[in-house]
Amino acid sequence: MSSKLRSFTEDLLERVGTALSELLAHQVSFKRGQISAFDEEAFSPFGDFVACLSGAVTGAHEGTLYVAFDLPRVIVLGALLEMVPPDGIAERLAEPAFDEERADAFEEVGNILVGKVDEAIRDNLGEEKIHTKKGDTLTGTPGEVYARITEGGDYYCLEATVEIEGQESGPVRFLFHPPLVEEGFKADPEVTAWRLATAVEQEAEAAEGEVAAATEGTEEAAEGGVARAAAGGAEAEESEGG
């Protein structure tokens, strides 16, 4: 990973964690994972529900970014904002639901979170004209949310884990549209290794290589079989002649 991309993601997670800790009066931190092409497997730890905050990026790298949480983390973040005591949080987690009241609380948390994402992008990309404004929140099953996100094209996925004081940790996914990452760090040669188009080309080449190898192996096996059959026939003729 390039040093600039690592600095950006580390700064992003630190800013978001600090802001939410201050907002919720509980320690919140984000542990960084890998960044890779976004596919449906990225939502596999989320269970049956995903709530995905969105941010509309304007300026040099226009597009939409997303931050996805699972239902337990959505409930906990909203409950802490409402200053619900631990017993009350446990009750909500026992019967998790994303109703209007909990959606409103999560949106308030989302406003702060997207604001910090905006700051991290602008400060690390060095583009004063870049601005990120919170958009609509996508909710539904992982498959439904994945389909809606990828309607807009390919994405990079930063896998992370959120740790909230007094609660279990859970998965978070930061999804970036390619121009935001690739163009912003185009001076870093390593970024080219993550280009989605390149990844697809590499997979296609690998698949072609596997097919070619399998075909070659089949042809060799067939040729070997013919040779063995011919040799067997010759031996039989010699036996009959003897």
pLDDT per residue as tens digits for the range 18-43:
999 999 999 999 998 888 889 999 99
Residues 6+ apart with CB under 8 A from 20: 28, 77, 109, 112, 113
Q: What is the mean pLDDT of the chain?
A: 83
The model's pLDDT over 104-114, given as tens digits with 9 standing for 90+, comes to: 999 999 999 99
Q: Residue 165: phi, psi to the nearest 5?
A: -50, 125
Secondary structure (3-state) at 173: strand
pLDDT surpassing 80 at residue 185? no
Q: What topology is assigned to 3-194 in CATH?
A: Chemotaxis protein chec (3.40.1550)
Among residues of the chain, what percentage have pLDDT more than 90? 57
Which residue did the predictor score with more confidence, 212 or 145?
145
pLDDT surpassing 90 at residue 236? no
pTM (predicted TM-score): 0.76
Distances (CA, A) of 222 to 208, 217, 234: 21, 9, 18
In whole angstroms, give the CA distance from residue 13 to residue 36: 17
Lowest mean pLDDT among 7-11, 53-57, 206-210: 206-210
Helix (H) or strand (E) holding 102: helix 100-125
**Cβ atoms of 137 and 45 closer than 8 Å:** no
Q: What is the CA radius of gyration of the chain?
A: 26
pLDDT surpassing 70 at residue 228? no
The whole-number average pLDDT for the span 174-193 is 67
**Residue reference for tokens 């935001």:** 180
Where are the domains positioned within the chain?
3-194, 203-242
